[in-house]
Amino acid sequence: MKNKKLSLTESVLLVAGAGMGTGLLTLPYAVSKIGLFGTLVALGLAYTVSLGLYFVIADLCRNSESSEDLSAILDEHLFKSGKRRVLRTVFYVLMCLLLVENLAVYTLCAAQVISDTFSVGIPFACAVFFTVCSLAAAFGVRGLGTGETLSVSLIGAAVVFLTVLSLFRPKGAVSFSFGDPGKVFAVYGLFMFAFSAIFSVMQVCVYIKDREKTGKAVAGGLSLNAVLTVVFILSALKGSENVTPVATTGLALSVGSRAVELVCTVLVLAAMFSSFLSSGFAFSDVIRKTVRVKGYAAWLASTLPAVVCAAFLPVSVTDLLQIGAGVLSLILMSAVLPAFLDAARSPSEKLLTGRGNTPRYIALSVGIGMILMAVSSFIPID
């Protein structure tokens, strides 16, 4: 990445945009299977665990010698035994699987909407989306900051428009029931995945101008993600006769307006662009450190395989999301949390997670939340 620092606003938008796309598009369908009270329970639990996780990751990065390199961080705090090579290999396999899955989800969501809107094939739509993301990636951190600001602004504008539209043209209804506890549990896992922003939090820790505002940046990003996601969920439920797995599709069909269809298309593409860009930068950093591929070639090597998978593998977005939730929980429980506990023993910077035994209690709570997330990935939504 090119040497440029991020403002507080850019940092908030970077964290918010990292997971916002999948949450906006897939959660309305999952929420439609339960009720408002069950959704609020799932949301509240996911938000609390995610906030603790954000602070854990920020503290880990801020108290490590190589704060921008997750592999170096784990080497410093975790992979110290004689089985270091085995542990690192397992970690890299899991992390690469997660990042490929993330990038494939973002590509597939964008491609499906491009295909529906412009009547083109999925492979061609994947290629168009990938080309746009790759052009932004060529500008490094400057492209990342500008791209996130633009995409989250577009997302916010589209959500406001669709919310107003759904209020004046309601086609559906919001159930106030709790719903099936098993499905509420599954929705919690999807909220957790939608809020996941491990690599964006790391990028903020490295590139934010004022390090003292790191806590505000990551908390603000999570809160913005949650607010826009919840508002859009309510809009999709109120405005759609039938909530579809990709919520904007059902919303556009219910309204029956070309203008609304285009707004939904902009919403999806902006959300997927934001998420793809953040994950792509994170994956390319991994490739640079492990395979020694340099520059823009690392971006292509890390992102192109996922785009090919999205274009040609017969998998659904929901399937990929639940796989990703399980893999993410394994990574956090087996590597990130133990590394944080090691870093928190003698921190070089003030911990966002507090003093005394508080960091340990937060890590324990986050660990329990991750176990619940892993279990929830086995519960079907339908």
Which among 168, 142, 371, 118 is positioned nearest to 277, based on CA atoms? Answer: 142
- The answer to the question of residue 3 being in a domain is no
Structure tokens at 155: 């997302």
How many domains are contained in the chain? 1
Identity at 272, one-letter amino acid code: M
pLDDT band at 53 (very low <50, low <70, confident <90, very high): very high
Query: What is the pLDDT at residue 55?
Result: 96
Q: Which residues of 321-339 are buried (b: 16+ CB within 10 A; e: fewer)?
A: bbbbbbbbbbbbbbbbbbb
- The answer to the question of residue 382 being in a domain is no
- Whole-number Å distance between alpha carbons of 133 and 271: 12
In this predicted structure, the answer to whether residue 285 has a pLDDT above a threshold of 70 is yes
- The answer to the question of residue 73 being in a domain is yes
Phi-psi region of 292 (alpha: psi -120 to 50; beta: other; left: phi over 0): left
Query: What is the pLDDT at residue 360?
Result: 94
- The answer to the question of residue 103 being in a domain is yes
Q: Which residue has the tokens 């994170």?
A: 282
The strand ranges marked E within 38-134 are none
pLDDT band at 49 (very low <50, low <70, confident <90, very high): very high
**Alpha-carbon Rg for the chain in angstroms:** 20
- Whole-number Å distance between alpha carbons of 315 and 318: 9
Q: How many CB atoms lie within 10 A of CB 64?
A: 25
Residue 59 · residue 273 · CB < 8 Å? no
- The answer to the question of residue 1 being in a domain is no
Residue 126 · residue 307 · CB < 8 Å? yes
* Helix/strand/coil percentages in the chain, nearest 5: 80, 0, 20
Q: How far is CA 330 from the centre of its chain?
A: 16
Q: What is the pLDDT of residues 83-112, one digit of tens each?
A: 566 767 777 777 787 788 888 888 988 888
- The answer to the question of residue 324 being in a domain is yes
Q: How far is CA 292 from the centre of its chain?
A: 26
Please state the pTM of the whole predicted model: 0.79
- The answer to the question of residue 2 being in a domain is no
Residue 67 · residue 212 · CB < 8 Å? no
In this predicted structure, the answer to whether residue 27 has a pLDDT above a threshold of 80 is yes
| SS3 of residue 6 by DSSP | strand
- Whole-number Å distance between alpha carbons of 375 and 2: 40
Average pLDDT, the chain: 82
Residue 39 · residue 319 · CB < 8 Å? no
Query: What is the pLDDT at residue 213?
Result: 93
Residue 219 · residue 149 · CB < 8 Å? no
Which among 69, 271, 325, 316 is positioned nearest to 150, based on CA atoms? Answer: 271
| SS3 of residue 208 by DSSP | strand
- The answer to the question of residue 347 being in a domain is yes
Residue 193 · residue 202 · CB < 8 Å? no
Query: What is the pLDDT at residue 117?
Result: 79
In this predicted structure, the answer to whether residue 74 has a pLDDT above a threshold of 90 is no
Kindly report the CATH number assigned to the domain that includes residue 199: 1.20.1740.10
List Cα–Cα distances, 158 to 125, 147, 153, 235, in angstroms.
21, 16, 9, 11
Q: Give 208's strand partners.
A: 6
Domain that holds residue 217: 8-376
